Structure 1
Amino acid sequence: MSAEVDVLLQEAKESIEAAQNYRSELQQRLHGLNQARKQVRGSSGQAREVLRRHFAELQAAATRLLTERLTTLLAEVDAIEADSVKPLDDCQSLIEHGVGQADELLREGEAALRCGLGEKEDKLGSFTKKAMHIQLDSLPEVPALVDVPSVSAQLDDSLLGLLRDRVSRHGSVSSHPPVQIEELQERPGSILVRWCKVDEDFAAADYRLQYRRSGSGGSQYEDGYIGRDSEFLVLHLDPHTDYLFRVCARGEGRTEWSPWSIPQTGYTTLAPHEWCPGTEGYILSSRRNIALRNDSSQSRCPVLYSKAPTYFCGQTLTFKITAAGQIDRRDSLGVCVDSQKGAESLQRDQAVCISTNGAVFVNGKEMTNQLPAITVGSAVTFDMEVVNLFPISNNNLSEGGNFKLRVTIGSGNREVVFDWLVDQAVDCLFFGCSFTFKICCWCFSFFILTETSL
């Protein structure tokens, strides 16, 4: 009986645990539904506000433009009227003056006719002289109606049709942005952002990526990339810090950007690539990603290593040479298993490197294959992937290692591929450089470009 009770008890416990898990899953789904509903309602409210504000601004701008145009046209009518009426007013004044003279002359003539015989001769003589002086046969010219302006307004009724057509096609509403962020991959001190189109009918000419710190204390969004590519590596990010990323697109032949994608949160746990500070003979940039050979040192400098083993297999490490002076065949740059203190060259055991003359060294031995010499503007890439793990044996030890990495070094338009045997399994490596002469000033910057599948 007790065995049956134990079985029932165990089944009850399992059912309770299953019910708890079931409830937890349902609660998570409810939370997801609430988030989805919040996104729909929140984005709809924002869209309504954007539409109202935009069309209110358009209405105000259109009213202002129409008022300004009406004022301009009325001013033109006023100017034509004033210029045209002035000579008519002058002619009217002249005629009215003539009418006044004629009225006065008529009164004098009638008075001369009514006066007595004793004064009639003098009055009539004076009247005749005055009439001759006025020149009663000279009349001012009055312009014909066809010769004076007849002001009219010409209005193109097609404007309303054009406006109606443009307004009917102005603006659009979509349920999803045309592009969305597809993937966020962490890199040392950076994040690789990939995005894709979700609206196949949208012909994108350019993409625009923005990012900012997440949280209440986050900064404003800033542009990270504008161009035709569908991925971009955002550099100089603080590890273990959430960042928000969003992307939009611009259609072919358009000037406005599409709506932003739904922001995605990403972060990197990998420390950024940095040169180790305090190494004699080298000056570092503020971010410690650029090294300059200091010409104050008269003797050969030790190897400048990375601050930590931050290079992982499956990634591409790129050195960019931005300045150069006199070179030496012992000068080199590459990757190594450890950071040996006091070493003067990377052309040693447990390291692979390329010399400035293009020679490739593996564990201190020069290969027969050679790459182009490194000059200003050169970019040298290192790609590594794990080939396999060997069990330790005498044969392996005679070969110098029991862990094999396949290394690809590229420089210019050429590359060499070889297998590198190291003494122990490694998942991260140091990088370094070494240069000889004080007049040599090699600068390096580096960043992860792509990821290679293992």
Structure 2
Amino acid sequence: MKMSVEAEVLLQEAKESIEAAQNYRSELQQRLQGLSQARKQVRGSSTHTREALRRHFQELQTALSRLLSDRLSALLQEVDAIEQDSVSPLDDCQKLIEHGVSMADELLREGEAALRCGISDKEDKLCSFAKKALNIQLDSLPEVPALVDVPCLSAQLDDSLLHVMRERVARHGSVSAHPPVQIEELVERPGSVLVRWCKVDEDFNPQDYRLQYRRSNATQYEDAYIGKDCEFLVLHLDPHTDYLFRVCARGEGRTEWSPWSVPQTGYTTLTPHEWSPGVDGYILSSRKNIAMRSDANPGAGGVLYSSSPTYFCGQTLTFKISAAGQMDKRDSVGVCADNHSGAESLQRDQAVCITTSGAVFVNGKEMTNQLPAITVGSSVTFDMEVVSLFPISNNNNPSDGGTFKLRVTIGSGNREVVFYWLLDQVVDCLFFGCSFTHPGWKVLVF
């Protein structure tokens, strides 16, 4: 039996309501999961902070107790040394006086004995006593130091130390609900990720930033950048692999780093830029992103292209010169629509490039604008944007004989040139290349 139109409408509305309810439930479940993660972050960071505070103050307490004990021991040893040095001469003086008292007692006994003896022996006894008395030098007495001349030890203890410590301890450490800097954006680039961060604490004045990263399945972070910039391109990342990024800052005039930001997961799906291997006259690094003009075969060379067309419009392509050789007018780095072999330079049709002298060529023609010469440490950037398509074929198919117009920006040093580049066909991606006539040039591409 066929359903009425009204019943079909009700059935359709019921299906739509069921689908909407399913989507609503799914969204709510995702939000519950987000709340769970947020709660875990609060609980986990609170537990970690408590442990860090207890550990830090316990270490301070132990270290301070050890320092006070060491200082007390040093002061007591100083008292012992002064006491020993001061008492030693007094002991020597006491021994001398006691020896004199002993001799005087013996002399007294002899003198009294001489006085009591008979007349026959009295003269000899008195003579012997007189000689002995002269030898003792009864008029010579040892000098005893006055009390003001001997040490009277005391301890000078400054109670201000406790006051200073109380003030310093009262200001030591702080607890914040959020780190002062957070990662703002992760942008995938070929074989790399551009990390941008920002300050979120208005009262914090950063002096330097520190960026770290690690694979999601690793345990140790490694430094990627330390400096004043608020963005950095982390190179040499494997595509389709999750990486964790975190950033912290050092306050102005401080030596310690701030707490780390909440780690953010980033990855790149873009194939890293690589030079084409096996080209005579060029040596590549293990990752194939660095090319060096070799002197093994001076006659060889020509253009070294990328292994594949990995540059897409909307990205920034950078050439970093890490070593330089002798300059030649044919030397250049740039972007091209094809990788036709046999060309001596990128100063040809279907290519844009900059020479080592700073001249800019578009489709083989030199522009009037010129950039600074390329030297060691120079970075040359290419940014391209699709402007328009002008079909010229009968069937209006842009991919069949149309004019492809790109806005190109080339930057070198603190200058840049902007121009339009016309191609005779639509291209989704572009090759890059370099050509150096003389050995010694080394270029990194990213």
TM over 0.5: yes
Partner of 2:445: 446
Partner of 1:404: 405
Shift of residue 17, structure 1, vs aligned partner: 3.0
Q: Distance in 1 between matches of 2:168 and 2:330?
A: 70
Aligned with residue 133 of structure 1, among 132, 135, 153: 135
Q: Distance in 2 between matches of 1:356 and 1:252?
A: 40
Partner of 1:56: 58
1:90 partner letter: D
Task: Verify: 1:291 aligned to 2:291, yes or no.
Answer: yes
Shift of residue 36, structure 1, vs aligned partner: 1.0
Partner of 2:267: 267
Shift of residue 2, structure 1, vs aligned partner: 4.8
**Equivalent residue runs for 1:55-454 within 5 Å:** 55-215=57-217, 218-297=218-297, 299=299, 301-321=301-321, 322-325=323-326, 327=328, 329-356=329-356, 358-364=358-364, 366-369=365-368, 371=370, 374-377=373-376, 378-393=378-393, 401-411=402-412, 415-435=416-436, 437=437, 439-447=438-446
Q: What stretches of structure 2 of length at least 5 have no aligned partner?
A: none
Q: Distance in 2 between matches of 1:144 and 1:9?
A: 120
Name the CA shift for 1:98/1:300 in 2 (closer, same or farther; >3 Å): closer
Q: What stretches of structure 1 of length at least 5 have no aligned partner?
A: 448-454
Name the CA shift for 1:247/1:254 in 2 (closer, same or farther; >3 Å): same
Name the CA shift for 1:380/1:37 in 2 (closer, same or farther; >3 Å): closer
1:258 partner letter: S
Partner of 2:46: 44
Name the CA shift for 1:413/1:15 in 2 (closer, same or farther; >3 Å): closer
Runs of 4+ in 1 over 6 A off after TM superposition: 394-397
Name the CA shift for 1:358/1:7 in 2 (closer, same or farther; >3 Å): closer
Name the CA shift for 1:38/1:372 in 2 (closer, same or farther; >3 Å): closer
Q: TM-score, normalised by structure 2?
A: 0.90
1:343-366 Cα shifts (integer Å, max 9, x gaps): 4443433222344555544334x2
Name the CA shift for 1:72/1:249 in 2 (closer, same or farther; >3 Å): same
Q: TM-score, normalised by structure 1?
A: 0.89
SS at match of 1:97: helix
1:226 partner letter: I
Q: Distance in 1 between matches of 2:327 and 2:228?
A: 40
Q: Distance in 1 between matches of 2:261 and 2:383?
A: 33
Name the CA shift for 1:96/1:340 in 2 (closer, same or farther; >3 Å): same
Q: Distance in 2 between matches of 1:333 and 1:307?
A: 15
Name the CA shift for 1:296/1:104 in 2 (closer, same or farther; >3 Å): closer
What do you get for the CA RMSD once the two structures are aligned? 2.6
1:166 partner letter: R
Q: Distance in 1 between matches of 2:137 and 2:345?
A: 121
Number of positions where the alignment pairs a residue of Structure 1 with one of Structure 2: 439
Q: Distance in 2 between matches of 1:91 and 1:294?
A: 91
Moved more, 378-387 or 254-263: 378-387
Q: Distance in 2 between matches of 1:361 and 1:375?
A: 15
1:279–1:302 CA contact under 8 A, matched in 2: no
Partner of 1:452: none
1:300–1:344 CA contact under 8 A, matched in 2: no
1:80 partner letter: I
1:276–1:306 CA contact under 8 A, matched in 2: yes
Name the CA shift for 1:164/1:107 in 2 (closer, same or farther; >3 Å): same
1:177–1:261 CA contact under 8 A, matched in 2: yes
1:246–1:262 CA contact under 8 A, matched in 2: yes
1:303–1:343 CA contact under 8 A, matched in 2: yes
SS at match of 2:391: coil
Q: Distance in 2 between matches of 1:357 and 1:163?
A: 63
Q: Distance in 2 between matches of 1:416 and 1:422?
A: 19
Shift of residue 331, structure 1, vs aligned partner: 4.0
2:280–2:300 CA contact under 8 A, matched in 1: no
Shift of residue 296, structure 1, vs aligned partner: 3.9
Shift of residue 83, structure 1, vs aligned partner: 1.1
Moved more, 13-22 or 97-106: 13-22
SS at match of 1:22: helix
Q: Distance in 2 between matches of 1:128 and 1:361?
A: 127
1:134-190 Cα shifts (integer Å, max 9, x gaps): 222322221111111111111111111111111111101111111100001011111
1:1-49 Cα shifts (integer Å, max 9, x gaps): 9546555544444443333323222221211111111111111111111
SS at match of 2:30: helix
